[in-house]
């Protein structure tokens, strides 16, 4: 018995150590040149871009504080100019956090709806189901000691008023407390000029989030979009409607570009962005045809295999959920 206990304990401590060791792995970071003075920078599976001009740098998402500090150092060492602009793709915490690192030299630009998203929590909505399960003392709040998973990992980013409890309102607002708010906002289109260079931000509508911008670098013939444009990768979801995604991709593809730079995974070319749009058109047409022929959702999920996209990341894991989302939209509109 004692030997078994001892074995289990040592195994546990080994497993514990392994978990600890992997959590301590340094993030994968790097900077690659895209073309001219435009660069793409990586933090694990998140990416941002920056353009170097003689008067300073125009960059996109800061991603998080730790990465932002690293990037600030790299830019200072390699290019010896300050970051003058941070242009946000959207408000999500995993792209937009940490901008305060550049606040000493930069102006922050985002779509107007970013301000609404970052506004103080409003009302007193109930805790969502996953947080309700953690509320052991039933006070409709999640204490630090109760928090688990993402709520524990990002507790301070949820805790807007820093009272050491997370409310339903704070959860509805999201873990955006480390997002430095834009100092300049726009509605349809906004151009930033610096050191003889231009970057244009264009509003993408309500796909994914209601404050998404695509960045266009006309001289470099490049676009940068996080979470909407993907390269050989299906979107994480098609909320709120597939139509909003088609609109957003059409807005992007109407631009003159060669380099399709994304916030996650691979970068590619305009052809890749056209394929992403084609996927949305194919899935919409396939689902509409199925509904027209009287097929059930399950039948459509089985037959609409969209094989042209078999090599895309998430084809096997998310295609059926996309079909369900499109089915709900089309069926709901009938
Ligand atoms: Zn996002």
Q: Identify the three-state secondary structure at position 249.
A: helix
CA 211 to centroid of ligand 1, rounded, Å: 10
CA 276 to centroid of ligand 1, rounded, Å: 17
Q: Which of 213, 214, 206, 212 has its CA nearest to residue 240? A: 206
As a whole number, the mean pLDDT across the chain is 93
pLDDT of residue 24: 66
CA 308 to centroid of ligand 1, rounded, Å: 26
Look at the alpha carbons of 29, 33, 34, 38 in this order and tell me if their dihedral is positive or negative.
positive
CA 165 to centroid of ligand 1, rounded, Å: 25
Contact 273, 262 (CB under 8 A): no
CA 190 to each of CA 121, 186, 187, 213, 215: distance values in angstroms, whole numbers, following the listed order: 28, 6, 8, 10, 10
CA 92 to centroid of ligand 1, rounded, Å: 5
How many residues does this entry show for the chain? Answer: 334
Predicted confidence band of residue 61 (pLDDT cuts 50, 70, 90)? very high
Report pTM. 0.90
CA 136 to centroid of ligand 1, rounded, Å: 31
Q: Rounded to whole angstroms, how far apart are CA atoms 311 and 162? A: 45
In sequence order, the 6+-apart residues with CB closer than 8 A to the CB of 84 are 55, 56, 57, 58, 105, 106, 107, 194
Quote the Cα angle for 218-222-226, to 5°.
125
In sequence order, the 6+-apart residues with CB closer than 8 A to the CB of 180 are 62, 86, 98, 99, 100, 102, 103, 108
Q: Rounded to whole angstroms, how far apart are CA atoms 9 and 323? A: 47
CA 89 to centroid of ligand 1, rounded, Å: 9
Around ion ligand 1, residues with a beta carbon closer than 5 Å are: 92, 227
CA 172 to centroid of ligand 1, rounded, Å: 15
Cis peptide before 294, with omega less than 30 degrees from 0?
Answer: no
100 vs 2: which has the higher pLDDT: 100
- Which tens digit of pLDDT belongs to each residue from 130-176? 999 999 999 999 999 999 999 999 999 999 999 999 999 999 999 99
CA 45 to centroid of ligand 1, rounded, Å: 13
CA 238 to centroid of ligand 1, rounded, Å: 12
**H-helix or E-strand spanning residue 276:** helix 270-292
Contact 31, 41 (CB under 8 A): yes
Pairing verdict, β 268-269 and 56-59: unpaired
pLDDT exceeds cutoff 70 at 8: no
- Which tens digit of pLDDT belongs to each residue from 90-113? 999 999 999 999 999 999 999 999
- Which tens digit of pLDDT belongs to each residue from 233-242? 999 999 999 9
The 10 Å Cβ neighbour count of residue 116 is 12
Tell me the average pLDDT across 75-101. Answer: 98
């Amino acid at each position: 018995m004692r030997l078994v206990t001892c074995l289990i304990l040592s195994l546990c401590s080994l497993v514990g150590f392994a978990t600890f060791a992997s959590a301590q792995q340094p993030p994968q970071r790097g900077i690659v040149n895209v073309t001219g003075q435009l660069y793409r920078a990586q933090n694990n599976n998140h990416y941002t871009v920056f353009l170097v001009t003689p008067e300073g740098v125009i960059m996109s998402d800061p991603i998080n504080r730790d990465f932002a500090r690293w990037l600030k150092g790299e830019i200072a060492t390699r290019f010896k100019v300050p970051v003058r602009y941070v242009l946000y793709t959207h408000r999500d915490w995993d792209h937009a956090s940490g901008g305060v690192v550049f606040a000493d030299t930069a102006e922050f630009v985002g779509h107007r709806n970013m301000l609404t998203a970052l506004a103080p929590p409003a009302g007193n909505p109930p805790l969502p189901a996953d947080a309700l399960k953690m509320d052991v003392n039933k006070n409709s709040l999640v204490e630090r000691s109760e928090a688990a998973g993402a709520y524990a990992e990002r507790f301070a980013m949820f805790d807007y008023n820093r009272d050491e409890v997370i409310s339903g309102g704070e959860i509805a607002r999201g873990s955006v407390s480390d997002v430095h708010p834009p100092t300049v906002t726009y509605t349809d289109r906004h151009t930033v000029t610096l050191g003889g260079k231009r970057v244009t931000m264009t509003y993408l509508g309500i796909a994914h989030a209601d404050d998404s911008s695509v960045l266009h670098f006309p001289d470099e013939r490049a676009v940068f979009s996080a979470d909407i444009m993907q390269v050989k990768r299906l979107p994480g979801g098609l909320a709120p409607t597939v139509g909003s995604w088609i609109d957003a991709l059409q807005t992007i593809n109407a631009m003159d570009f060669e380099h399709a730079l994304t916030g996650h995974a691979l970068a590619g070319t305009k052809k890749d962005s056209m394929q992403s749009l084609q996927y949305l058109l194919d899935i919409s047409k396939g689902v509409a045809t199925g509904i027209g022929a009287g097929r059930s959702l399950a039948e459509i999920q089985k037959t609409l295999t969209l094989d042209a996209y078999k090599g895309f990341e998430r084809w096997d894991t998310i295609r059926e959920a996309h079909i369900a989302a499109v089915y709900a939209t089309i069926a709901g509109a009938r």
